[in-house]
Amino acid sequence: MGNKQEELEAIVQQENYDRVAITETWWDDSHNWAAAMDGYKLFRRDRQWRGSGVALYVKECFDCLELNDGDDRVECLWVRIRGKANKADIMVGVCHRPPNQDEEADEIFYKQLGEVSQSLALVLMGDFNLPDVCWKYSTAERKQSRRFLECVENNFLTQLVSEPTRGGTLPDLLFAEKDLWVM
């Protein structure tokens, strides 16, 4: 984030977003002073290696609770946002899947996803680095990518990003249950 923090704050304030997910933050303890944003609670999961870390900003008016599974092999942040009035609670996940992540770490993520999706409405955002997935036809060349598609389907999630975000691919994705398409 570093040099992009001011730009992020300007966009967030202008658009008045309720939630903002960030992947590959590269933050550590030295960034505490620069990471906060007025009017937002910050949840973050820092990493010690380059190009890692995830964060979620949520407007202060929302009652939130971070769920920590304690497993550092998977770069995910899970935050439960309590619904207002008669609205249901929502679980928001922010994940970064490195391109070289092994199958064991993938399976840990799938287990986490299955657990959080059982009890709450779910929105999942992140950089999943699966360039061989064709979201239009739900197909993939690699075994790990096909397993990811299977997990998405098993948890009744729909991928909502339709335009390439980097180099003609869709590494940055947004998933939601069909009931949550309009939030």
Question: In the CATH scheme, what is the code of domain 2-180?
Answer: 3.60.10.10
Report, as an integer, the average pLDDT of 23-34: 66
Query: Which has more confidence, 52 or 62?
Result: 62
pLDDT number for residue 183: 45
Residue 72's Cβ-count burial label (10 Å; 0-12, 13-18, 19+) is exposed
What letter would DSSP give residue 169? B
pLDDT number for residue 146: 97
pLDDT band at 70 (very low <50, low <70, confident <90, very high): low
Amino acid identity at 147: R
Amino acid identity at 35: A
Report, as an integer, the average pLDDT of 65-86: 83
The Cα 22–Cα 71 span in angstroms is 20
Helix axes 103-119, 143-154, angle to 10 degrees: 10
Query: Which has more confidence, 122 or 71?
Result: 122
The Cα 57–Cα 70 span in angstroms is 20
Query: Which has more confidence, 181 or 160?
Result: 160
Report, as an integer, the average pLDDT of 57-72: 86
pTM reported for the whole predicted model: 0.84
Q: In what order do the strands lie in the sheet with 19-23?
A: 19-23, 54-59, 40-45
Report, as an integer, the average pLDDT of 151-173: 83
